[in-house]
A and B are shown apart, each in its own frame.
Chain A
Amino acid sequence: MDIAHPNPGSRAADLGGHEGHEHGEHVASSHGHLKPEQWLLRTCLFAGMGAYFAHLWISGNLGYYINTRFVWLSVVAALVFFMLGASSLYSFLRARFGGADLAYGHRELAGHSHPPITFPLLLVLAAPLAFGLLVPSRPLGASAVGGDLVPTAPTDSSLAASFNSLEWTVVDWLRVFYYSGNPDRLNGREADVVGFVYRRAGDPKGHFMVARFLMSCCSADASAVGVPVAWDRSDDLPVDTWVRVRGPVKVQQFGKNALPVIEAKTVDASIGPPAQPYLYP
């Protein structure tokens, strides 16, 4: 499998180009020349990538993977992929119909070798497309939490933007709880938060955590945070259900930590995932 040494042909080709112009053409035709099918393969690969990025952008699913402030980068990527695809298509047409002498990359890029896409390499390069097409596009959920859900210190000390606690997100509640100096002042304030249901092993009956993923940049750095909810019908709620929880908050011992616990009056389990599943710090 030719993974670690991407350019086996380039040694001879580069040295040939360097040693003298009179050898350049010969070297280029023996090493730098790709068969038309290779150009077609590249065309498909780049066009597929471009189409995938464009699809993510248009469908709005891009927000499942990256922070939405980076969306413009994906649009740029789609454009560049299409440009590379067009360039490969042009090379294919010249290689297929223009004859070997006109094959693009032959005249203008003598001494440069075009790496062929072998079958193992194709498996690697097509992996993003395969995962993108075969695995349903979904935001991170309960199975990705993999932790305690209660950070010892949330990532940002800035206080919630609003004085109205009904507008606070799960993260805002934790921020205010950890940084306001007097967490007991949270007692009795009304909460209205959206998140997915998560349960930790050993949490008391009649409770669940309403959780959100906090994402700085992309889904690779997303980590979950959550606030406990006390609700008498908690145990009927399946994990990963998106819920809207409303009720007053009481700071109390929950598991190992003192936490703001929402004593839910209503839990709406029919809301479905929000358009923007992640919170940004």
Chain B
Amino acid sequence: MCAALLVLFRANSDGLGGLQTFSTRFLGIFIEAAPFLLLGTLTSGLIEVFVNRNHIARLAPRNRVLGAGCGVLLGFAFPVCECGVVPVARRLFTKGLPISVGVTFLLASPVMNPIVLLSTWSAFGMGPVLVGRYVITAIVAAGVGLVFALAGRPRDLLRPAAMVGVSGGAVDAPPRYLDVGAGAAAAETGADKLIPRFRAALSLASDEFVDMGRFLIIGSLLAATMQTLVSQDALLSLGRGTVTSVITMQVLAYVLSVCSTVDAFLALAFRGTFTTASILTFLIFGPMVDMKSTLMFLSVFRPRAVLYLVLLPLLMTMAVGIWLNLNVSL
């Protein structure tokens, strides 16, 4: 694959025009994605400040199968794309969310939200792509969540920073922002708390932006580099093979790291040249795992867990895509 990509590389003839193109494509991704990242970090900050970890811990089912199903639906409660889902998931983990729910949420949530539903519908209409995207995403995400719940204890999977509360025992603790001077803060009521809480949410959001913004920006820089250097035509020539179309779309999804709320429109551009099953694979795999989110996963999970978090969805969606290519005419 690397060799194939190398062959596809071609020097850009004019330096200044190339820089211009690079800058415009890079800023395009950043400007498009930044609002979603900001809304994600704000949501994350508001969850930290307003959602009691007791509630999440109590509401999330202990049963693993139910937990995985709950993780799929939880996505609709937090309308964030994959730029924003990792901070939210990290916060939910610190609130004591079970591992199966958290992993399923992490994988399914970028697709399971109203904005993505709307964008996929407007791009592809009511049809196999829309239905397939949601059904297969739910199955793959729940499957990976189950594997994680069966195979690992939280201690083995999460980086220590994300583990507070998962290990149990901390569920009774008050929200962390009240930890110091808890007496005074606890004495405050209703409206009095609202403004400091909102300020705390803003402060958390800016922390998250500093933490997560670097991945968005590095991802956008890499994606723009790929787009400037690799000839799209050469990539498209791979689009008709049973296996190459699926793998090409997975590599594209991984490298381009396009936001799940907008990837349906990008996929539309491949409609004429790539098989429908490979486009479906792009729309299912891309939101779960891409270069940008892999870097973000590293801030929550241990490296070995990140490896599984990338490989399991990769192989499962690859199998689905190739099977659909062979057996179903979409």
Contacts and interface: CB of A to CB of B under 8 A. Distances in A.
A144 B24 contact: yes
Given A17-B176, A91-B203, A147 B233 contact: yes
Interface stretch (A20-28, A161-169, A241-249, A252-260): A20-28
Contacts of A90: 199
A73 B25 contact: no
A147 B231 contact: yes
Contact of A42 (B196, B206, B272): B206
Contacts of B94: 14
Contact of B268 (A70, A76, A216): A216
A132 B177 contact: no
Contact of A56 (B31, B177, B271): B31
A237 B153 CA distance: 67
A75 to B, nearest CB: 9
Q: Which of B35, B94, B185, B265 has the most CB of A within 10 A?
A: B35
A84 B180 contact: no
Q: Which of B212, B218, B221, B269 has the most CB of A within 10 A?
A: B269
A109 interface: yes
B180 A107 contact: yes
A173 interface: no
A80 B173 CA distance: 31
Interface stretch (B14-22, B63-71, B142-150): B14-22
A277 to B, nearest CB: 10
A108 B179 CA distance: 8
Contacts of A21: 179-180, 182
A217 B260 CA distance: 12
Contacts of B156: none
A54 to B, nearest CB: 12
B218 A3 contact: yes
Contacts of B21: 140-141, 143-144
B27 A131 contact: yes
Contacts of A64: 24
A281 B232 contact: no
A18 B165 contact: yes
Interface stretch (A111-119, A187-195, A267-275): A111-119
B29 A15 contact: no
Interface of A: 3-7, 10-11, 14-15, 17-18, 21, 24-25, 28, 42, 46, 49, 53, 56, 62, 64-66, 70, 73-74, 76-77, 80-81, 83-84, 87-88, 90-91, 104-112, 114-115, 117, 121, 124-125, 127-128, 131-132, 135-136, 138-144, 146-148, 151-155, 216-223, 281
27 contacts: A6-B212, A7-B161, A11-B159, A24-B179, A24-B180, A46-B209, A80-B35, A80-B38, A108-B178, A108-B185, A109-B177, A109-B203, A115-B211, A124-B214, A124-B218, A142-B17, A144-B25, A144-B228, A146-B231, A147-B232, A147-B233, A153-B272, A155-B272, A217-B266, A220-B223, A220-B224, A222-B28
Interface of B: 12-14, 17-21, 23-32, 34-36, 38-39, 42, 94, 123, 159-161, 164-165, 170, 173, 176-182, 185, 196, 199-200, 202-207, 209-214, 217-218, 221, 223-224, 227-228, 231-233, 256, 258, 262, 265-266, 268-269, 271-273, 295, 298-299
